[in-house]
Amino acid sequence: MTWVKICATTSLHDAQMSVAAGANALGFIFAPSTRRIEVEQAAEIIAALPGEVEKIGVFVNEAPERVADIASRAGLTGAQLHGEEPPEQMAEFRGALGQRRIIKTLQARELLGSVEMLEPYLCLGSAMDAILLDSGSPAQRGGTGVPFPWEEAVPIAAEIQAAMPVIIAGGLTPGNVCEAIRLFSPWGVDVVSGVEQAIGKKDEAKLRTFVAAVKRANGRVLPGP
């Protein structure tokens, strides 16, 4: 089945609901955000979760050493680099994070305007494990609740998939995730606002409906990064 990440976990209750719904990974935001979590709180939640569930920290323009320190203290299994981290810095992140999963977020709106920005990342398969395509906006890097222009971005996603796994994010909901999977055939999907009842608070029914929709759309077990 398509890998499912439920991002912006802020409580053990929400984490347990996400796991029960069938999430493969949970996200914890350590960057400035209305959904930010402190390292100590994340560590308490992560310590109570099953080992097979991935715990991905979300960072924006942090130094590799800082990301590695938080990953160690919180018990993260991976890092999502959601800022303007340049391709030449990816090797530093790999050196600092070791075998933890490294996901680099790129903004689809920026790539649609200048696809050349993508090329330097595509040869970094040894330094990163996947690219996440998100919507974002000049004022907000993620969690906008608005999809990017999917049809226009299909060629970009295909180019990424030829080099490494692609994860689709940005405005996904239980009602549209099937269409996203049909269009992109992504390795993974990442959701925040589409499964919330309020900012930072998950909705159990939406979580279960979202994962069930993913299962309906794609029952195959896809190879991971």
CATH number of the domain that 94 lies in? 3.20.20.70
User: Which pLDDT belongs to residue 223?
Assistant: 43
Report the helix count and the strand count for the chain, using DSSP H and E: 8, 10
* C-beta of residue 67 within 8 angstroms of C-beta of residue 59: yes
**What Rg do the C-alpha atoms of the chain give, in angstroms?**
16
Tally of structural domains, the chain: 1
Q: Residue 201 pLDDT more than 50?
A: yes
Domain residue limits at 94:
3-217
- Greater confidence (138 vs 151) lies with 151
Q: Are 181 and 3 in contact (CB under 8 A)?
A: no
Residue 139 placed within a domain: yes
User: Has residue 225 been placed in a domain?
Assistant: no
Q: Kindly give the interhelix angle for 204-217 and 177-184, rounded to the nearest 10 degrees.
A: 30
- CA dist., res. 70 & res. 54, Å (int): 15
What is the model's pLDDT at position 137?
57
- Answer whether residue 224 is part of any domain: no
pLDDT band for position 145 (cuts 50, 70, 90): confident
Q: Is 223 inside a domain boundary?
A: no
Answer whether residue 222 is part of any domain.
no
- Percentage of the chain beyond pLDDT 90 is 88
- Kindly state whether residue 159 falls inside one of the protein's structural domains: yes
> What is the Cα–Cα distance from 168 to 133, expressed in whole angstroms?
5
Q: How far apart are CA 135 and CA 17, in angstroms?
A: 26
Is 2 a residue whose pLDDT tops 60? Answer: yes
Residues with catalytic function:
7, 134
Instruction: Choose the weakest-confidence range: 58-67, 148-157, 188-197, 214-223.
Output: 214-223
User: SS3 for 97?
Assistant: helix
Q: Is residue 2 packed enough to be buried (19+ CB in 10 Å), middle (13-18) or exposed (0-12)? A: buried
